[in-house]
Amino acid sequence: MTARKHVTTGNSLLAALPQKELRQMMDEGILEPAHLRLGEVLHERGERIEHIYFPDGCVISLMAVADARMTLEVGLVGPEGMVGIAVAMDSPVSPVRALVQRDGVALRMSAASFREQLEHNPTLRREISHYAYGLMVQATQAAFCSHFHLLESRLARSLLMMRDRVRSNALHLTHEFLSHALGVRRVGITKAATALQQRGLISYSRGDIRILDGAGLEVAACSCYQVVKSLAGPQ
């Protein structure tokens, strides 16, 4: 008898499923790999969600969009989570723009298949419910942070959140993206990044950022980082 292959995934939500269920979804084509490109928009605010994505190495930014110029990152999704959570709440339409911030592989399933899996798979339903709470924490802190905390501290928080998801101190984040994510002008990002660099916490050149002092950057970050990490961040 041929041994059944062991299916591995770097996505925490899928990894929590029993091997038999995960293998069946892969074998039947319910879950399929998709390579996501930097800058790719998976869905816009107000668009119907056609696919659910489970990152396995890539990172997706969830952006609240007021108009073409006014945006704010309200969630960051890495291998700990999924994109398309609105479908789990019986909404076919996305409230945010889902933008690929770090390219890589994700496992994808159709929204229809996802609804069916939630109905018949209590383990997945439980994991998704817990993750939905985590995204709510992220969105709440993003709103609070944008109003009450200094930009330098907010930038430190953003860099640490990305580090936790890519598990690396080497990041690629342009001034343009950071300005959209934090809802400020590019000149503000330049000043904040320069301040962190002068303190020896990061190095920054042409969008390539390296965290030099992680502990120091955590001290520089606002309290929102620890709140999100303790309640909703990657473990």
Q: Which domains does the chain have, with CATH numbers?
A: 12-145 (2.60.120.10), 149-231 (1.10.10.10)
The pLDDT tens digits for 26-46 are 999 999 999 999 999 999 999
Tell me what the mean pLDDT of segment 57-64 comes to.
95
CA-wise closest residue to 132 among 67, 165, 84, 190: 84
Res. 71: pLDDT tops 60: yes
Q: What is the Rg, in whole angstroms, of the alpha carbon atoms belonging to the chain?
A: 18
pLDDT at 67: 74
Give the predicted TM-score (pTM) of the model.
Answer: 0.92
Res. 68: pLDDT tops 80: no
Long-range Cβ contacts of 109-112 (<8 Å, 24+ apart): 109/25, 109/30, 109/31, 109/32, 109/51, 109/52, 110/50, 110/51, 110/52, 111/49, 111/50, 111/51, 111/52, 111/84, 111/87
Res. 3: pLDDT tops 50: no
β-pairing, 32-36 vs 51-56, is unpaired
Mean of per-residue pLDDT scores for the chain: 92
Tell me what the mean pLDDT of segment 153-167 comes to.
96
Sheet holding 97-102, edge to edge: 41-43, 97-102, 59-65, 71-77
Res. 180: pLDDT tops 80: yes
pLDDT at 229: 87
